């Protein structure tokens, strides 16, 4: 009965944000809006549209509270249609959102990469994966409206020769399997989206009040200049003269137009600031067709959030219920497709076999420079070196600390390879991530869950070593901690476990390699140095590790092992290392697609 009196509490209406975007559910725009609404604590009603213009119309007509359009991609560049449509209408931009575009090749269950002949995706996304597409034979790339539609249509066609490039969320949503991942031309592939509402918006959209701190805002403009010497220079000098920083500049030719070039410019700051008023006045005098898209919040993309967003997608409940115990949401993604983890210019996994060499500990400038030179000239593609050493005894050498970091970085630069070093505590994570290309989690810290979460929040690849009393599933659970924080770039490392056997330092469990290859998509390396701890057994174990399917090796090397300050019994000499590389060249890389 609706017999309410004044004293009865009136339930607050649940806030639902109707948001327009191009495409259908499962598209990247849909995921961005979902995450955005989630962060604001409102529920979200998606309104998919066929074109960018239709998105704007939905907002202006009041059918949607807000709209979202992409304007930039790190690989493909400015998405001019987004800027053009935003400039054409009177809109109120609210915020920019930067999103990690972690593309997957998705096929119907039972399909294989080799059998794919046609790939659907958004044209910008196809451009972002150009290098991957170029590696495929007899495949036609077909541009479609958006990635969600691509995934949906491939699922509906149920044709094993068809695949879509879309997010892992789209794959789960439409019941597709991953045939390849990490397929963008560069892993740091981000798109920038602009969220906007109608001017004088009412209802839910009216809640989005612009920030008053102009320092974290950005303003977008589109203008044309006359085709004459110095025209662009005059426009741009207006910004500098008024203390405004231009953060983006792009141009396009306007066919058939009197003013031939349109420029897309983003400037740090808010249009309501005094310096902007002066700049705009001056700009009007030197431009033709000046369109101010507007000012918006530019704080929504801190680097760590950009990565986390990827995992928000991965953690969507899968279509089929997950097992109740030991929920493997991220580490057990289709093991038939081994991940490629990029460390600088090095790829680990998926058909690549890499050798990382270097001393147990960085001891001196001479030692690390000489070792870097020796291992890379023999073919190592990365340099290792501990600066914080987890030693069994507190009286043993503990590493050079940050001073060693500078030496390791210098050596890496000198030979042009990425570096990896162990991070032991949470408070070292931030500085270490800015100094090394890959973070190592040592065996003794494999179950330091807070440390795992901390490295999971960084954008650095992680080398996760198996704990000495850890089962294979314990290792995968530890990886799950890192991945579930948003960092997908984990390489596992078998480094020997404690058994009753005392003839070797540890028991190098090479049988974990085939097991892991069956259970996870993550690449796996082997560290025979800590595995056996005895120099003369290391080279044959390296060969065995490669033969059984490891994606790489981590090997300790020292210019003069007998004088090494840590792990001197197991360090290879430079000539041992040369011999090891020569012997490894005789061992074929195990085909990743054979289970
Ligand atoms: C190391 O690689 O230097 C190291 C200490 O290894 P682990 O954590 O495997 O003992
Ligand atoms: Mn060591």
Can you say how many angstroms the Cα of residue 119 is from the centroid of all Cα atoms in its chain?
23
- What's the helix, strand, coil split of the chain in %, to 5? 35, 25, 40
Q: Looking at residue 435, what is its pLDDT?
A: 95
DSSP letters along 236-277, please? HHHHHHTT--EEEEEEEE-TT-SS-EEEEEEEES-TTSHHHH
Instruction: Name which of 38-47, 348-357, 501-510 the model is least confident about.
Output: 38-47
Is it the case that residue 468 has pLDDT exceeding 60? yes
Higher pLDDT, 246 or 333: 246
What pLDDT was estimated at residue 76?
A: 87
Question: What pLDDT, on the 0 to 100 scale, is given for residue 334?
Answer: 72
For the record, the structure tokens of 366 come out as 């001479």
Measured from the CB, is residue 559 less than 6 Å from ligand 1?
Answer: no
For 404-437, write each residue's pLDDT tens digit. 999 999 999 999 999 999 999 999 999 999 999 9
pLDDT given at position 322: 38
pLDDT band at 1 (very low <50, low <70, confident <90, very high): very low
Q: Quick one: average pLDDT of 335-343?
A: 83
Mean pLDDT value across residues 451-462: 96
Q: Per residue in 124-135, is it b (16+ CB within 10 Å) or e — as a string? A: bbbbbbeebbee
The token pair at 8 is 């009865």
pLDDT at 332 over 90: no
Question: Which residue reads 């007509």 in tokens?
Answer: 61
Whether 505 lines ligand 1, by a CB cut-off of 6 Å, is no
Whether 578 and 379 have beta carbons less than 8 Å apart is answered as no
Lowest mean pLDDT among 73-82, 432-441, 497-506, 585-594: 585-594
Tell me, using a 6 A CB cutoff, whether residue 443 lines ligand 1: yes
Can you list the domains of the chain with their CATH numbers? 1-101+189-211 (3.40.190.10), 104-181 (3.40.190.10), 212-315 (3.30.70.260), 341-584 (3.20.20.70)
Cβ neighbours, 10 Å, residue 39: 11
Residue 73 has pLDDT above 80, yes or no: yes
Ligand 1, atom nearest to 360 Cα: 3
Q: How distant is the alpha carbon of residue 194 from its chain centre?
A: 20
Backbone angles phi, psi at 359, to 5 degrees: -75, 160
Mean pLDDT for the chain overall:
87
Nearest to 113 by CA among 163, 172, 75: 163
In this structure, of 102-116, 192-206, 355-369, 487-501, the range with the lowest mean pLDDT score is: 192-206
Whether ligand 1 lies within 6 angstroms of the CB of 357 is answered as no
Residue 419 CB contacts under 8 Å (≥ 6 apart), including other chains:
382, 383, 384, 385, 408, 409, 411, 412, 436, 437, 438
Answer yes or no: are the C-beta atoms of 472 and 497 closer than 8 Å. Answer: no
The span from the CA of 295 to the CA of 92, in Å, is 8
391 CA to middle of ligand 1, Å? Answer: 9
- The SS3 call for residue 84 is helix
Q: Give the range among 29-38, 187-196, 322-331 with minimum mean pLDDT.
A: 322-331
Say yes or no to pLDDT of 9 above 80. Answer: no
State residue 304's pLDDT score.
Answer: 30
Residues 139, 116: Cα–Cα separation, whole Å? 7
Which tens digits make up the pLDDT trace of 86-99?
A: 988 999 998 898 88
Region label for 273, one of left (φ > 0), alpha (ψ between -120 and 50) or beta (otherwise)? beta
Does residue 466 have its Cβ closer than 6 Å to ligand 1? no
Distance between first and last Cα of the chain:
64
Q: Using pLDDT thresholds of 50, 70 and 90, give the confidence band for residue 350.
A: confident
Look-up of token digits 């430079």: 574
Using the atom order of ligand 1, give the atom closest to the CA of residue 445: 8
Q: Per-residue pLDDT for 151 more than 80? A: yes
Looking at 35-49, 246-260, 286-300, 318-332, which range is the least confident one?
318-332
User: What whole-number distance in Å separates Cα of residue 295 and Cα of residue 220?
Assistant: 7
* pLDDT on residue 424: 97
Q: What spacing in Å lies between the alpha carbon of 344 and ligand 2's midpoint?
A: 23
Statement: residue 595 has pLDDT above 50:
no
49-66 pLDDT tens trace:
999 999 999 999 999 999
**464 pLDDT more than 90:** yes
Report DSSP state, residue 386. Answer: B
Q: What is the pLDDT of residue 199?
A: 87
In this predicted structure, what is the pLDDT of residue 300?
60
**How many Å apart are CA 307 and CA 488, to the nearest integer?**
9
Measured CA to CA, the distance from residue 161 to residue 295 in angstroms comes to 46
pLDDT category at 307 given cuts 50, 70, 90 is very low
- 526 phi, psi to nearest 5 deg: -125, 135
Residue nearest ligand 1's atom 10 by CA: 443
pLDDT of residue 440: 98
Query: How does DSSP classify residue 1?
Result: -
Ligand 1 contact, 333 CB (< 6 A): no
Using the predicted structure, report yes or no on whether residue 389 has a pLDDT greater than 60.
yes
Q: Is the pLDDT of residue 524 over 90?
A: yes
For the CA of 443, the nearest ligand:
1
Q: Given strand 162-166, what is the order of strands in its sheet?
A: 140-143, 118-121, 162-166, 104-107, 177-181
Res. 594: pLDDT tops 50: no
Q: Is the pLDDT reported for residue 593 higher than 50?
A: no
Tell me the CA–centroid distance for residue 360 and ligand 2, in Å: 4
pLDDT at 205 over 80: no
d(CA 45, CA 37): 10
């Amino acid at each position: 009965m609706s017999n309410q009196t004044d004293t009865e509490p009136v339930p607050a209406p649940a806030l639902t944000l109707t948001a327009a975007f191009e495409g259908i559910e499962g598209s990247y725009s849909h995921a961005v809006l979902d995450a955005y609404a989630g962060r604001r604590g409102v529920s979200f009603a998606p309104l998919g549209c066929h074109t960018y213009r239709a998105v704007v119309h939905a907002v202006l007509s009041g059918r949607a509270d807000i709209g979202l359009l992409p304007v930039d991609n790190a690989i493909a560049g400015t998405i001019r249609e987004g800027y053009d449509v935003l400039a054409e209408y009177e809109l109120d931009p609210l915020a920019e959102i930067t999103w990690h575009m972690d593309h997957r090749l998705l096929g119907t269950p039972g399909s294989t990469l080799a059998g794919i002949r046609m790939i659907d995706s958004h044209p910008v996304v196809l451009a972002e994966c150009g290098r991957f597409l170029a590696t495929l034979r007899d495949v036609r790339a077909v541009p479609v409206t958006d990635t969600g539609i691509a995934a949906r249509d491939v699922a509906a066609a149920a044709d094993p020769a068809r695949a879509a490039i879309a997010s892992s969320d789209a794959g789960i949503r439409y019941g597709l399997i991953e045939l390849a991942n990490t397929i963008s031309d560069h892993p740091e592939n981000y798109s920038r989206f602009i969220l906007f509402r109608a001017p004088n918006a009412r209802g839910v959209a009216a809640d989005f009040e612009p920030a008053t701190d102009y320092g974290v805002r950005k303003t977008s403009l589109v203008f044309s200049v006359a085709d004459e010497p110095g025209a662009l220079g005059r426009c741009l000098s207006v910004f500098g003269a008024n203390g405004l920083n231009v953060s983006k500049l792009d141009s396009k030719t306007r066919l058939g137009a009197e003013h031939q070039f349109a420029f897309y410019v983003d400037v740090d700051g808010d249009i309501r600031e005094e310096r902007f008023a002066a700049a705009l006045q001056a700009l009007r005098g030197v431009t033709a067709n000046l369109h101010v898209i507007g000012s918006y919040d530019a704080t929504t993309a801190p680097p760590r959030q950009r990565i986390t967003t990827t995992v928000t997608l991965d953690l969507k409940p899968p279509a089929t219920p997950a097992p109740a115990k030991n929920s493997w949401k991220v580490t057990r993604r289709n093991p038939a497709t081994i991940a490629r983890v990029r460390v600088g210019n090095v790829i680990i996994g998926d058909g690549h076999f890499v050798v990382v060499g270097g001393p147990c500990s960085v001891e001196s400038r001479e030692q690390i420079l000489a070792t870097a030179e020796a291992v890379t000239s023999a073919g190592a593609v990365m340099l290792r070196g501990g600066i914080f050493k987890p030693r069994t005894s507190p009286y043993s050498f503990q590493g050079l600390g940050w001073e060693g970091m500078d030496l390791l970085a210098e050596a890496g630069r000198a030979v042009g390879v990425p570096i990896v070093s162990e991070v032991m505590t949470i408070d070292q994570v931030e500085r270490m991530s800015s100094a090394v290309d890959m973070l190592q989690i040592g065996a003794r810290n494999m179950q330091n869950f807070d440390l795992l979460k901390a490295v999971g929040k960084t954008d650095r690849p992680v080398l996760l070593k198996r704990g000495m009393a850890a089962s294979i599933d314990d290792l995968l659970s530890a990886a799950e901690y890192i991945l579930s924080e948003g960092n997908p770039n984990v390489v596992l490392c078998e480094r020997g476990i404690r058994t009753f056997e005392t003839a070797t330092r540890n028991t190098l469990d090479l049988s974990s390699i085939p097991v892991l290859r069956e259970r996870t998509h993550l690449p796996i390396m082997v560290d025979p140095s800590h595995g056996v701890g005895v120099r003369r057994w290391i080279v044959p174990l390296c060969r065995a590790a490669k033969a059984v399917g490891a994606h790489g090796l981590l090997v300790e090397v020292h210019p003069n092992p007998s004088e090494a300050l840590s792990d001197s019994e197991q360090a290879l000499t430079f000539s041992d290392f040369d011999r090891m590389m020569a012997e490894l060249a005789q061992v074929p890389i195990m085909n990743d697609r054979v289970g």
